[in-house]
Amino acid sequence: MCKHLRMDLSQEGLIERAAEAIQIGHIKTLDGLRVNGSLALLIVGIGLDGQIVHELERVRSGPINYASYAIPTLLALHQYEYNRLKVTVDGRVVFAESQAVAFVANVPEYGTGFPVVPGAISDDGLLDVCVLPVRSPAAAVQQAVRIAAGEHLRGEDAVSVRGKRVQIVADKRVAVQVDGDAAGFTPLEIDLLPSIAPFIVTA
């Protein structure tokens, strides 16, 4: 997780801006997530997205860049079994045992800026849950295109809800990524941790 939060302190004026933000009180306290007991801040991906990150961890060597995802994505598209998910939010089943991918997010964008959960706000006291039907490699590519265009939530059977506690189970174990790192498999228990992470923000 930390690799996504590093700051380049060599940037001109950054330290001065941070000192000024502290001095005038520009501190923003963000919500967090507890994922099977572990802390997270950004996003949880369940399904093909998780499989890609698992493949990346398995095959990569050295620093990660955009090109690093090419082979893991192809491997995941070929090998992923498109298992059925059941998603429960605050005790209510919102998606019932169909082939899909799911995201539970505290931020609207993921990776290279994909607006997976465009309504997510990092300090609103709610988790945003997005479930998208995906039954084949072709459907996965189509959903990726729709996400890039910001049209995925208009699709048939797409689910977009908010809540504070999310449970996800599957007919077989499904790969999970948390904040861009491989993080095991389903089942998942995800809880909101409100207002736990203070961050300095600059004007």
pLDDT at 202: 60
- Domains in the chain: ranges and CATH: 13-198 (2.60.200.40)
- Tens-place pLDDT, residues 152-194: 988 778 999 999 999 999 999 999 999 989 999 999 999 999 8
Q: Is the pTM of this model over 0.75?
A: yes
> What contacts 76, CB < 8 A, 6 or more positions away?
48, 51, 52, 54, 55
pLDDT at 5: 41
Q: At what angle do helices 48-59 and 70-79 cross, to 10 degrees?
A: 130
Average model confidence (pLDDT) across the chain? 85
How far separated are the first and last CA of the chain, in Å rounded?
Answer: 25
